Structure 1
Amino acid sequence: MTSTAVSYDRATELKAFDETKAGVKGLVDAGITKIPPLFVRAPETTTTSKPLMHTSIQIPIIDLEGRHADVIEEIRSAAETFGLFHVTNHGIPLMVMEEMVAGVRRFHEEDLDVKKKYYTRDLSQKVGFNTNSDFYRSKAADWRDTLRCVMAPEEPKPEEMPLAFREIIFEYANYIKKLGIVLLELLSEALGLNRDHLNKMDFNKGLELLGHYYPPCPDPELTLGTSRHSDPDFLTILLEDHIGGLQVLHQHHWIDVPPLAGALVVNIGDLLQLISNDRFKSAEHRVIAKSIGPRISVACFFRAYDGKEYGPIKELISCGSPPLYKAVTVRDYVTLFMILREQDQKSALGFFKL
């Protein structure tokens, strides 16, 4: 047994870190110059084995106020290829977006005594703060702290929210709900369905907001801000600051998704790939760690734990296009997704293939 193995008891270190309730930011505030072993990843997971060959590849940018037929075609193309795209003229005022980012930052930079009140790993709580939802199960922790707020189907009471963003979060969530309806209408048309088809399926009734905080990292080459994954939802809308670091996997290469002022990032989730019968592609993505920061992002996930089973949409099924997946509930999909994350698998979709 090596001296490293003797000196490093992962389970003990995980528990000790978690009990501080200070998160990754607490490590930075303590002045560390090297990241703890908990966060060190295998080299092949922090880099890409295939160097980027197509430097001219650009992330699609879709102007939602463009000619309707053009918007539909652009969304169809982006959803079928990248699974991820920027949207502009989306209806959310810039001041609201900036205040939402500022509010998330204010919370994560609060005094520890204030933040500790919200530290929990109980997912039944509507509001909670911690480091990595899979902290005790993953092979390596991500360099990131997260505040989680469930905003639908039932909103938390204002007094349940941290003061740091209590006012802005309800306003921002209302805008996101409206934008979600618009995007689902456009995605319905892009699939050749009636405009209200996806909205009538009700998975937009559930909304979960994650406010991520990525502190500057002393060893960014040894870890990741967010490890490679696709989202176990139908649709994700991401707001981020100017720092950057988001990457999407496209044609076996990691492509930078540069921040675009005033725009939002939209990505297709696993469950939309499932119900579209592989017409739309769920985007595998990650966030690299950086020595600068903090990076702030706000991810909004549309998924409803309503007990309904979702399978390939019957209007998309034909003799030439048979169903590729069996039906599944959101809860069962997410449960399996979390189990597979322990094994470093990126998606649960393959387990529901027919």
Structure 2
Amino acid sequence: MTGSSLFDHLARQLTGLCEVAQTRSDEPLHLLGDLLGPTGARPLSAPPAWPSNVADDHTPVEFSIACNAGEPPTLRILGEALGSPPDAMSNQTAAYRFLSARPSRSGISLSRLTAVEGLFATDRPLGDYTLWHSLVFRSGRQPEFKVYLNPEVRGIQRAPDLVAEALRRLGLGGAYRSIFDHAVRPGELGRRDRLTFFAVDLHDGPHARVKVYLTHHDASTTDVARAAGAVDGIDAEDVASFCTAAGGGRRHFGGLPLVGSYTFTSETKKPVGYSVYVPIRGYVNDDQEARERVAPLLARYGFDSALLDRAIAAVTDRPLRDGVGLIAHVSLRLGPPRPGVTVYLSAEAYQVSPPRGGRLDATPGRMNAAADRAAV
């Protein structure tokens, strides 16, 4: 649309997604505007203000819809706050400014972030980001906040010690070894197996979570099934089967990497949940093919695939065969508090990636967003 700004584009999509998630749109739109800051007013005719890794086309926002048993779907915004002008340090400042501007009545608590932020805040940040925000909207409830911190912000080789110390500060000192022994292939920590996200819920409720994410480059479904085995009660074969179905029958993912995450709560020293994220856009020719894989996965876990079609219609009216990457990835969440399936949708504010025309393996590298990221 001529003269449309980044906020205009995203706000239209968000309004439609709020209808899908059966939640009011006023608070999500307000928070979206605050998160974008001055960047939201930039016209879409201008290039992205910053090469944000939240999305392949550098849109600093991604949407997701989480299907949960027995309740309406959950809407989430994943976003990167950008400084003015944006750079690694100003973005870091903008991220913390967004949090400090939240009123006390929002239910946000920074106590756990405060306990670890010194580990992740630096005047020379490395990697693709420093802090990303997750804004979570459940029908009939006030918004929830979560942050994603970069374990590699001080360098890849320092990530293991940083994560171990962060867990210790949050009272989960014994947790690191419980996942390390399962999730990391021998000799591959910092190489094919990377610690890419450390996430913290910003509330003090009994189910407040800490999540640790590992990106598994050049991995097989056997690798992620083994990783899932760190969690009691998780069906590792279900994890492998989900990946194979999302990947169109493949058991090895040599392009965009699989990602797994472990969920911890204050009630236990071991992970209580596991999620696996499949970058489906790297293993389909177009979004129609992605839709045809995701819909049966939703049905397999007891969810209505019509929800997927309504969510897609909320963010685009283009034919699905005309591009690839709108459906960026799909995840399976196992264990408490909310097992289910999440679908991640790119805003495509700046670019629609053309369909592949038969080339199914994407170039290896970091995922656009949520695959290095998190499920709701």
TM over 0.5: no
TM-score by length of 1: 0.31
TM score, norm. by length of structure 2: 0.29
